[in-house]
């Protein structure tokens, strides 16, 4: 009986040590990678650069000035078929999970392990 208790105590101590080491490693990686992330307030107020358009008096477009050719397009203006096409190509279970697709994570892990 004493041997069985010592054996389970040994297994428990190994498991506890692995848990502490894993939690410390996870905390270290979180701390290390979160230093480089921008402030969430800056992301909430992000406005990408857009083009400056010069129009004539009659409303016709004369010129566009910008480093990047960007146009603001609200999500309501994107056709439903385009949204469906992106979702079907990227994440077929988009509306079925709460942000993380466990099946997709396992599939990616298996693919990474095989390569």
Model pLDDT for residues 36-78, shown as the tens digit of each residue: 887 888 778 877 777 888 999 998 988 988 888 777 788 999 9
Residue 79 maps to a domain:
no
Residue 53 maps to a domain:
no
Residue 33 maps to a domain:
yes
Residue 112 maps to a domain:
no
CA dist., res. 34 & res. 31, Å (int): 5
State which residues form the domain around 34: 1-46
Count: domains in the chain: 1
Nearest to 62 by CA among 71, 51, 73: 51
More confident residue, 88 or 112: 112
Percentage, residues of the chain above pLDDT 70: 100
- When pLDDT is cut at 50, 70 and 90, the band that residue 97 belongs to is confident
Q: How many CA atoms lie within 13 A of 63 on its CB side?
A: 2
Residue 88 maps to a domain:
no
Residue 115 maps to a domain:
no
Residue 80 maps to a domain:
no
pTM of the predicted model as reported, rounded to 2 decimal places: 0.41
Residue 71 maps to a domain:
no
């Amino acid at each position: 009986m004493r041997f069985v208790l010592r054996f389970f105590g040994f297994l428990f101590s190994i498991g506890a040590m692995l848990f502490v080491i894993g939690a410390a490693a996870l905390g270290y990686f979180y701390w290390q990678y979160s230093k480089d992330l921008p402030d969430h307030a800056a992301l909430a107020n992000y406005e990408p650069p857009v083009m400056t358009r010069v129009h004539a008096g009659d409303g016709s477009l004369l010129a566009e000035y910008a480093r990047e050719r960007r146009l603001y397009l609200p999500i309501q203006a994107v056709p439903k078929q385009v949204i469906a096409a992106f979702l079907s190509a990227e994440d077929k279970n988009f509306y079925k999970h709460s942000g993380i697709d466990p099946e997709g994570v396992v599939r990616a892990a298996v693919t990474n392990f095989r390569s």
